[in-house]
C-alpha cells in the first residue's frame, strides 16, 4: 500500500491540492447538475440546446447553487475532523461522531437558519440552511432517534444514492488505507441506507478516492475497489455496475451511453455514471467535458456530477478545475476553509497539540465531545 506523503513540503502541498480538488470538484459538479436534475434529456435539449447544459446556471444571488450532496459532504468532513479531535481527548467511536455531524445537517433542513448557539462553526453558516430536494432516506434515517449500524441499519431496503454522494471524504484521510476508508464509509452509510448496494457503493467510492490519492490512475483505483467489494456479502449489484462502467467503449461518449448505465437514482448507478464520465475524459484539461457528460442525462444529474467532480478533483487537484466555474460557486470559501482544516488536523495536528492554548482554540472550533 502506497503512503500519502504529508511530511515533506511538496507532499503536503500536493495533498492539500487533492483535498481541495475533491471537495470543490464535487461541489462544482453538484451545482452544474442541480438545475436539470430529473429533467428528461429532451427537455434539457429544449431548454439549453442540442448539446444540453454547457455551463453553470446562476441563482438569484448570482452564484451557482449546491444541494444536499455538497451540504452532507461538508458535514461529513466536519465530523471526520471532530473524530480526530475527540480521539485526542479520549475514547472515540467515529461512526457516532459522524452521525452527530449528519444530525447537524438535518437541522439545516428543518430550521429556518442557524440556532442562537450553533454546535460548531459550520452549523453557524446561513447559506447551508437552504433546502434543495434532500434525499428521503437521508432525512428519514436521521429522524429516527437511533443510529443505524451494519447489524441494525436504517432503511434496510433503501439503496438510493444519498449515502454514496457524501462519502468521498472518507477517502481523503492520509493515515487510513483504502480498506479502512471503505469500511468506515460503508458503516456510516448504514445510518441512512441499509441495502447492501447503498452502503457498499459508498465504501467503494471512498476506496477509489483513497487510491487516487496514492497516484493510482482511475482504472487502477476502480480495480482496487472491486477487489475490496468482492470480499463483501451482497456486492454483486455494485460490482456489476462498475464492471459495466469500465467495460463500455469511451470514444465519443453520448447521453445514451450514460442512460444505459441507469439514471443515478440508486447508489450503484450513480457511482457507475460518475466513474464512466471520469474515465471518458480523464485528463486535467478535460474537466469541463467530463462534468458536462456527467450531468446531461434524464436522471439524478447533481449526484452524478458531484461524484465525477470528486473523482477528478482528487486525481488532479484544484488547479484542474474550471476557474470560472469555481469563482461562481456558492459556498466556495467555506469549502476551501474546511478542506484546509481537514489537512491541518490529519497532516499537521501534532503541531497544534504542542501548543495547548492553540489547540484549545481549535477544540472550540471543532468540539470533540
pLDDT in tens, 158-192: 999 999 999 999 999 999 999 999 999 999 999 99
Residue 304 structural domain: 15-44+63-365
Q: How confident is the model at residue 369 (pLDDT cuts 50, 70, 90)?
A: low
Residue 58 inside a domain? The answer is no
Question: 161 is written with which cell numbers?
Answer: 444514492
Q: Tell me what the mean pLDDT of segment 92-108 comes to.
A: 96
Q: How many CB atoms lie within 10 A of CB 34?
A: 27
Residue 104 inside a domain? The answer is yes
What is the pLDDT, as a whole number, of residue 88?
A: 74
Region of 134 (left: φ > 0; alpha: ψ -120 to 50; beta: rest) is beta
Residue 19 inside a domain? The answer is yes
Q: How confident is the model at residue 48 (pLDDT cuts 50, 70, 90)?
A: very high
pLDDT in tens, 248-307: 887 889 999 999 999 999 999 999 999 999 999 999 999 999 999 999 999 999 999 999
This prediction has a pTM of 0.97
Higher pLDDT, 362 or 296: 296
Residue 34 inside a domain? The answer is yes
Q: How many CB atoms lie within 10 A of CB 190?
A: 26
Nearest to 164 by CA among 262, 296, 252: 262
What is the pLDDT, as a whole number, of residue 229?
A: 98
Residue 249 inside a domain? The answer is yes
pLDDT in tens, 8-29: 999 999 999 999 999 999 999 9
What is the pLDDT, as a whole number, of residue 352?
A: 82
Hey, CA dihedral for 23, 31, 330, 113, is it positive or negative? negative
pLDDT in tens, 185-225: 999 999 999 999 999 999 999 999 999 999 999 999 999 99
Strand partners, 329: 64
Q: Is the pLDDT of residue 128 over 60?
A: yes
Q: Is the pLDDT of residue 359 over 80?
A: no
Q: Is there a contact between 152 and 127 (Cβ–Cβ < 8 Å)?
A: no
Taking the CA of residue 275 as centre, how many other CA atoms within 13 Å lie in the half-sphere pointing to its CB? 37
What is the pLDDT, as a whole number, of residue 75?
A: 98
* Domains held by the chain: number: 1
Question: 147 is written with which cell numbers?
Answer: 443510529
Residue 198 inside a domain? The answer is yes
Q: What single string gives the DSSP state of each residue in 303-342?
A: HHHHHHHHHHHHHH-GGGS-HHHHHTBTTHHHHHHHHHHH
Q: How confident is the model at residue 32 (pLDDT cuts 50, 70, 90)?
A: very high
Task: Find the Cα–Cα–Cα–Cα dihedral 104, 336, 81, 2, rounded to 10°.
Answer: 140
Distance, in Å, from the CA atom of 344 to the CA atom of 338, rounded to the nearest integer, reads 10
Residue 56 inside a domain? The answer is no
Nearest to 269 by CA among 279, 278, 258: 258
Distance, in Å, from the CA atom of 309 to the CA atom of 305, rounded to the nearest integer, reads 6
Q: What mean pLDDT is reported for the chain?
A: 95
Residue 137 inside a domain? The answer is yes
Could you tell me the CATH number of the domain that includes residue 354? Answer: 1.10.4080.10
CA-based diameter of the chain, in Å?
A: 60
Amino acid at each position: 500500500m502506497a503512503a500519502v506523503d504529508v511530511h515533506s513540503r511538496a507532499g503536503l502541498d500536493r495533498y492539500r491540492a487533492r483535498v481541495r480538488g475533491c471537495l470543490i470538484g464535487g461541489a462544482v459538479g453538484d451545482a452544474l447538475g442541480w438545475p436539470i436534475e430529473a429533467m428528461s434529456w429532451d427537455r434539457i435539449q429544449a431548454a439549453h440546446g442540442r448539446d444540453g447544459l454547457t455551463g453553470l446556471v446562476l441563482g438569484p444571488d448570482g452564484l451557482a447553487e449546491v444541494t444536499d450532496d455538497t451540504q452532507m459532504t461538508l458535514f461529513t468532513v466536519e465530523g471526520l475532523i471532530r473524530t480526530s479531535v475527540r480521539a485526542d481527548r479520549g475514547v472515540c467511536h467515529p461512526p457516532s461522531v459522524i452521525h452527530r455531524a449528519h444530525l447537524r445537517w438535518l437541522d439545516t433542513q428543518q430550521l429556518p437558519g442557524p440556532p442562537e448557539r450553533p454546535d460548531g462553526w459550520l452549523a453557524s453558516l446561513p447559506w447551508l440552511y437552504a433546502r434543495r430536494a434532500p434525499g428521503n432516506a437521508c432525512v428519514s434515517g436521521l429522524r429516527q432517534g437511533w443510529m443505524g449500524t451494519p447489524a441494525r441499519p436504517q432503511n434496510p431496503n433503501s439503496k438510493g444514492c444519498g449515502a454514496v454522494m457524501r462519502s468521498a471524504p472518507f477517502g481523503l484521510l492520509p493515515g487510513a488505507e483504502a480498506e479502512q476508508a471503505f469500511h468506515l464509509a460503508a458503516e456510516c452509510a448504514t445510518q441512512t441506507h441499509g441495502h447492501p448496494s447503498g452502503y457498499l457503493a459508498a465504501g467503494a467510492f471512498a476506496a477509489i478516492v483513497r487510491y487516487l490519492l496514492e497516484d493510482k490512475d482511475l482504472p487502477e483505483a476502480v480495480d482496487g475497489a472491486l477487489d475490496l467489494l468482492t470480499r463483501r456479502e451482497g456486492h454483486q449489484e455494485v460490482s456489476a455496475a462498475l464492471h459495466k462502467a469500465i467495460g463500455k467503449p469511451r470514444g465519443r461518449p453520448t447521453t445514451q451511453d450514460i442512460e444505459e448505465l441507469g439514471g443515478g437514482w440508486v447508489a450503484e448507478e450513480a457511482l457507475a455514471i460518475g466513474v464512466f464520465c471520469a474515465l471518458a475524459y480523464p485528463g486535467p484539461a478535460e474537466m469541463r467535458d467530463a462534468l458536462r457528460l456527467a450531468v446531461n442525462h434524464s436522471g439524478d444529474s447533481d449526484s452524478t456530477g458531484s461524484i465525477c467532480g470528486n473523482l477528478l478533483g482528487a486525481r488532479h487537484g484544484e488547479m484542474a478545475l474550471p476557474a470560472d466555474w469555481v469563482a461562481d460557486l456558492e459556498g466556495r470559501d467555506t469549502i476551501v476553509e474546511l478542506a484546509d482544516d481537514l489537512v491541518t488536523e490529519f497532516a499537521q495536528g501534532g503541531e497544534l497539540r504542542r501548543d495547548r492554548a492553540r489547540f484549545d482554540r481549535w477544540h472550540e472550533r471543532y468540539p470533540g465531545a
